[in-house]
A = this chain, B = another copy of it.
Amino acid sequence: MQEIEGGVTAPLGFKANGVIANIKGHNTTKKDLAAIVSQVPCTCAATYTQNKVKGAPLTVTKKHLKNGQAQAIICNSGNANTCNANGIEIAEGACDLLAKELHMDPSDVVVASTGVIGQPMTLDPFEKHIHELVSGLKEDGSDDAANAIMTTDTHKKEYAVAFKIGDTTCHIGAIAKGSGMIHPNMATMLAFVTSDVDISREMLEMMVHDVVNDTFNMVSVDGDTSTNDMLVVMCNGLADNKKIVIKDKHYQIMKEALYYICESLSKGIAKDGEGATKLLTCNTHNARTLHDAKTVAKSVITSSLFKAAMFGKDANWGRILCAIGYAPADIDITKVEVSLSSAQGSIIVCKNGAGVPFSEGKALDILSEDEIVIDIDLHDGDYMATAWGCDLTYDYVKINGDYRT
């Protein structure tokens, strides 16, 4: 497997584009309308937020993906199209517009929106800019699409890999937007994954479910599960590999590639969390169950107090112990060992549930890096899990104190 350029347009047969449709405001210079289109219909699998308040686009996309098939994605940023009385109308209208322009069935279009919840919305910007969006679709259009789906993200998240299935070179590409309201209970935020692999719907759904549980569902920026989370994977089969229809070694190869892509996006989202200055990676080792391992890792990277301490480069490990203690997991606190690591080295701060002496100077050096790893060894079983998060900073408060106004 090899990382390559090209994002969602790296796989064969995909084009993309992103334009300024003024959804983010009348004078915006930011792209806010994106499309991703496959040359041929794709086998699709998707996951959605578990929030009971769901954006209208999710309702429409779910309906369209009932048959497991789609050929295009339309996505706007700047308005979540959620809690609007005319939400379904807008979401269906966007699909209709793209389908008409591309001469395909509207039910083959996936629609997504991200931005402020509960803001009035009309189809006008879609109508005005749909032709520009479609006529500009191009084989190197992933960048434009990635930019157009960003809200408070400061970096676009775009990854692609090439890998072999038998003798056939295959590709997976992806873009995502994250930043705030990120505490996936699948999916998270918006992630669009394209591939030219030929795979059955059943195998793709199984793979997506497993990979998402270990990647996107292990990310938290602020504990708020969004209303618009959606991940869609589209496979158009143009790589012409021997079709994957069982969980064989080819399935495993593609799963590894998809995992790599989703893990990269997840880390990218955590690192670019609203206001974040640090990526926090928390590994739980030797837990009694997988659930315990996951819940402990997520509890630590979700703790506001711990996140603020990381911003302050403060090795306040008591807050890690506290967050372990209130995680809904079966643990023996007297066995817990905690260490902190970064490119500057590693220190053990706690053994057998109690503090051990460490150099504050060394701790400061370690925590001054922008990627920090917290290893928690429960010494009590065989399961491990990883969760990703970020620090809590002044800028998180600033961004969210006046995000809407």
Chain A interface residues (CB < 8 Å from chain B): 50-54, 80, 82-85, 116-120, 180-181, 183, 185, 222-227, 302-305, 308-309, 311-312, 314, 316-319, 321-326, 331, 333, 350, 353-355, 360, 392-394, 396-405
Identity of the chain B residue whose Cβ is nearest the Cβ of A364 in the assembled complex:
B405
Identity of the chain B residue whose Cβ is nearest the Cβ of A305 in the assembled complex:
B224
CB pairs A–B below 8 angstroms (14 shown): A52-B324, A52-B326, A83-B318, A83-B355, A118-B350, A118-B354, A119-B355, A181-B319, A224-B323, A227-B318, A308-B396, A314-B402, A392-B400, A396-B397
CA distance A312 to B331 in the complex (A): 40
A304-B223, A321-B227, A326-B185 known; A401+B119 contact, CB < 8 A: no
Task: Please give the count of copies of this chain that the complex contains.
Answer: 2
Per DSSP, chain A at the interface is loop
Measured CB to CB, the closest approach of chain B to A178, in angstroms, equals 14
Asked if A401 and B311 make an inter-chain contact with CB atoms under 8 angstroms apart, the answer reads yes
Residues of B within 8 A of A54 (CB): 325
Residues of B within 8 A of A224 (CB): 303-305, 319, 322-323, 326
A223-B223, A225-B326, A394-B394 known; A402+B118 contact, CB < 8 A: no
Measured CB to CB, the closest approach of chain B to A120, in angstroms, equals 7
Measured CB to CB, the closest approach of chain B to A215, in angstroms, equals 20
Residues of B within 8 A of A223 (CB): 223, 302-304
